[in-house]
Amino acid sequence: MAAKIISGKCKNNFGTINNKIPIQDNFSNTKVYISLKNERSKIDYFEFSNLLWISNFNPTNSYPDYKIGTEWAGKYSIVLNTNNLKFGWGILELMSQNYFSQPQELNGRKNSLQIYIPCRVAIVVL
């Protein structure tokens, strides 16, 4: 019973935080640019509106300083991290870190940044 209560609370927290992410564009006018789908590392990332969505589906491998291609230059902050304690994990707290892009082209995008990506996580960066 307790697991169901925790699970429901975590799903509710995820939905609440997900709805607060500041998306600039109307969904119907926004294009998604898929930068990478890597079967070996299990990393996927894509740009949607003003956000960079990063997923690591690998159950055991985390990646320090993983290089991500992005169109936008500037400072990035994590606005959603599924390893957050609010979602029932609480393994790593990455929310307070900032990341800065470099003008180095990667995967067809003008800029890139390096970010720590833990195993089994989805991160949204703004």
Cβ 107 vs Cβ 99: under 8 Å:
no
* Structural domains of the chain, ranges and CATH numbers in brackets: 2-125 (2.60.40.1180)
- Residue-wise pLDDT for 52-96, tens only, equals 889 888 889 999 999 999 998 999 988 888 887 666 655 555 567
Torsion of CA 97, 101, 104, 110, to 10 degrees: 130
Mean pLDDT, all residues of the chain: 74
- Residue-wise pLDDT for 24-40, tens only, equals 555 445 566 666 677 78
Residue 81 bridge partners (DSSP): 123
- Provide the pLDDT for residue 46: 85
Model pTM above 0.85: no
